[in-house]
């Protein structure tokens, strides 16, 4: 997700992750976590920041692309509505966490063609049991509205299921079209599933729970009942003014419930007393407050106003081991000071290129042109001058950090810079060999050698829309602009709010007026669902909803599909290497974020997949 719940779940680049997620995952820290002698207080309030326009703006966990972000899922919905399977934990894990999940480990039989899911008898806040019919509700809704769901990829769930049925009060069985890798199917398919409460199976306010009929609907009527229910729920999802008061959203099975909400990014949570999982929240209230930028957040930290918040890398000395500075600038801040914690994300930084842009789509479809742009993309310079040791280069469609089994041979080439390290001389020669020439300071196509569909006289003048409010992302765009200019490629910067950029994510066709964009830079994709195994079906498969640039390559599709049925690392490496070679997007740095945590805040060590677990937090002061 884009620094979206996993789920593209979409993250900001470098320190821009603060735009989409105020969550800290420790890969290193000046530790201030619990000890047996620490005395904690009850009734504590934890306060964390959002940047204006980057907070949650959707609440229904079957979202369109415009809602698919970490801010909406991990940092908001998942606090209230727990998915079938949770990943990571209050640690550095990137694996499934069955203890925190609403279902037990799935059972695969018939060579991987049958999956049995046993749900735990957790409780909804209205007293009902989370059971098999709640999962059937979601599966039926998915069948009815898959085209409108951002987590859907053609031929995958639900298309790869021949049938499913309730096989016990707490059990659902799926029959699959083929034998799948149990790792991939759990991590990248079952991970999108949520139990839905019967209180949501309605078509109007005040209706009796289950009266909408989606839970018992079938394809015989074209899923008409489910479509009607989805239409109603989606209408309520759009009514942000009622998020904290609508009875629908007060039926929760997660550790928290919402008590106030403002679309600007200010909202409050309190514990759900009927939460069945463990641990139960210790804090009495979790408050999100709004600031205009990451710089404004840092100013608030210097006054001791927050329990936790990100520090822009520009306000830190150069990073040392574990992405942490040698000195802590907030150690002596008011209200007890802060301890530092670094967040290393399991994701990739990139900007979409619009392969369907009527003028420049044919240019982006040329592999040589993408290779040249990559050789003008000075990520090492960005990491040094902007990231200052707090960011890492992205060289493929697979995360380079944390260190994992997924890092392929092509990713390790040229000292970890991948197959196309920064080399302006080589880039200019490659462009010249394909009919491009700098005319009046602008790279211009001079012959048919430029490639199919590119008109002679076409000038390489692009615009990059990127997330405003995060200075590091703007600085990276400036460096990219300078790099491209060395070959005569002109790039203009166009900052917009993160929420505004999400509205452009739906793939477009050349005939649409909205298809005029060339580069869309939201920051990053986190492999935090769907896609905890970092395969490419959400991003690069032909027709995928999150394939916003409309990239399409038959070999890429084949390599992606192979990872679905094989657990072999050689199969995965073939896919990962191809993403490094083919450049389906323009790769950009991925940032770590340095978080300041109040010295009164303990048990804060969250996952690289950006799962957010404030139920673990403990405080030694009332305003931790």
Q: Give 443-478 pLDDT, tens digit per residue.
A: 999 999 999 999 999 999 999 999 886 678 899 999
The reported pLDDT for the residue numbered 182 is 94
What torsion, rounded to 10 degrees, do the Cα atoms 301, 303, 305, 310 define? 0
Secondary structure element (H or E) that encloses residue 227, with its range: helix 224-238
Q: pLDDT class for 248, splitting at 50, 70, 90?
A: very high
Cβ-proximal residues to 274 (8 Å cutoff; 6+ apart), any chain: 123, 124, 125, 127
pLDDT of the residue at 33: 63
Predicted TM-score of the model (pTM): 0.83
Residue 302's pLDDT band (boundaries 50, 70, 90)? Answer: very high
Q: Average pLDDT, whole number, for the chain? A: 91
Tens of pLDDT, residues 11-58: 333 323 333 333 333 344 555 665 556 899 999 999 999 998 889 999
For residue 288, how many C-alpha atoms fall within 13 Å in the half-sphere facing its CB? Answer: 29
Which of 22 and 619 is assigned the larger pLDDT?
A: 619
Residue 199 CA to its chain's centroid (Å): 28
pLDDT given at position 91 = 85
- Domains of the chain and CATH, by start: 354-590 (3.10.105.10)
Measured CA to CA, the distance from residue 30 to residue 16 in angstroms comes to: 22
Question: Which letter does DSSP use for residue 103 in this model?
Answer: B
pLDDT tens-place string over residues 393-413: 999 999 998 888 899 999 999
pLDDT recorded at residue 621: 94
- 395-399, 597-601, 605-609: least confidently modelled range: 605-609
> Across residues 334-355, what is the average pLDDT?
94
pLDDT tens, position by position, 552-564: 999 999 999 999 9
- pLDDT of 2 above 70: no
Position 206 scores a pLDDT of: 96
- Residue 24: the pLDDT is 33
Instruction: Provide the 8-state DSSP code for 77.
Output: I
């Amino acid at each position: 997700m884009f620094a979206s719940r996993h789920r593209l779940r979409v993250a900001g680049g470098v320190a821009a992750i603060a735009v989409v997620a105020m969550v800290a995952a420790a890969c290193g820290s000046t530790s201030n976590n619990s000890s047996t002698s620490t005395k904690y207080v009850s009734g504590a309030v934890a306060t964390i920041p959002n940047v204006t326009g980057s907070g949650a703006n959707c609440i229904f966990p079957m979202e369109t692309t415009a809602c698919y972000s970490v801010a909406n899922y991990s940092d908001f919905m998942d606090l209230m509505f727990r998915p079938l399977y949770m990943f990571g934990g209050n640690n550095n894990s990137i694996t499934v966490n069955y203890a925190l999940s609403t279902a037990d480990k799935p059972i695969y039989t018939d060579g991987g063609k049958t999956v049995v899911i046993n749900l735990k008898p957790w409780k909804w806040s209205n007293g009902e049991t989370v059971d098999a019919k709640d999962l059937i509700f979601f599966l039926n809704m998915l069948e009815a509205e898959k085209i409108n769901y951002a987590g859907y990829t053609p031929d995958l769930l639900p298309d790869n299921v021949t049938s499913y049925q309730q096989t016990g009060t707490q059990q659902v069985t799926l029959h699959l079209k083929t034998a799948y890798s149990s790792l991939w199917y759990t991590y990248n398919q079952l991970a999108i599933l949520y139990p839905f409460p019967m209180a949501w199976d309605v078509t109007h306010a005040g209706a009796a729970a289950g009266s909408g009929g989606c839970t018992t609907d079938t394809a015989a009527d074209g899923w008409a009942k489910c479509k009607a229910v989805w239409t109603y729920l989606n209408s309520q999802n759009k009514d942000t003014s009622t998020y904290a008061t609508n009875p629908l959203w007060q039926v929760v099975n997660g550790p928290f419930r919402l008590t106030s909400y403002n679309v600007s990014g200010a909202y409050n949570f309190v514990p759900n007393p009927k939460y069945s999982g463990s641990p139960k929240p210790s804090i009495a209230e979790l408050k999100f407050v709004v600031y205009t930028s990451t710089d404004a957040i840092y100013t608030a930290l210097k006054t001791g106003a927050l329990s936790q918040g990100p520090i822009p890398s520009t306000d830190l000395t150069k990073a040392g081991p574990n992405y942490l500075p040698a000195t802590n600038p907030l150690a002596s801040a008011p209200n007890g000071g802060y301890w530092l914690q670094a967040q290393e994300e399991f994701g990739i930084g990139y900007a979409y290129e619009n392969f369907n842009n009527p003028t420049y789509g044919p240019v982006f479809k040329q592999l040589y042109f993408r290779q040249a742009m990559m050789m003008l993309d000075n990520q090492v310079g960005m990491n040094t001058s902007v990231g200052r040791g707090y960011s890492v280069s992205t060289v493929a469609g697979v995360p380079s950090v944390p260190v994992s089994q997924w890092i392929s041979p092509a990713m390790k080439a040229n000292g970890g810079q991948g197959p196309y390290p920064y080399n302006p001389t080589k880039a200019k020669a490659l462009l010249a060999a394909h009919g491009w020439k700098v005319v009046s300071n602008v790279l211009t196509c001079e012959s048919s050698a430029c490639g199919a569909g590119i008109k002679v006289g076409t000038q390489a003048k692009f615009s990059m829309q990127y997330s405003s409010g995060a200075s590091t992302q703007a600085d990276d765009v400036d460096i990219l602009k300078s790099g491209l200019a060395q070959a005569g490629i002109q790039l203009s910067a166009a900052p917009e709010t993160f929420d505004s950029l999400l509205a452009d994510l739906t793939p477009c066709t050349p005939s649409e007026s909205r298809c005029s964009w060339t580069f869309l830079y939201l920051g990053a994709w986190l492999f935090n669902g769907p896609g905890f195994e970092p395969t490419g079906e959400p991003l690069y498969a032909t027709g995928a909803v999150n394939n916003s640039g409309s990239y399409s390559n038959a070999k890429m599709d084949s390599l992606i599909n192979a990872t679905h049925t094989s657990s072999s690392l050689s199969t995965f490496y073939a896919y990962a290497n191809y993403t490094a070679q083919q450049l389906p997007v323009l790769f950009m740095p991925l940032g770590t974020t340095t978080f300041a945590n109040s010295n009164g805040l303990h048990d804060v060590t969250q996952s690289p997949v950006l799962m957010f677990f404030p139920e673990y937090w403990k405080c030694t002061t009332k305003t931790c």
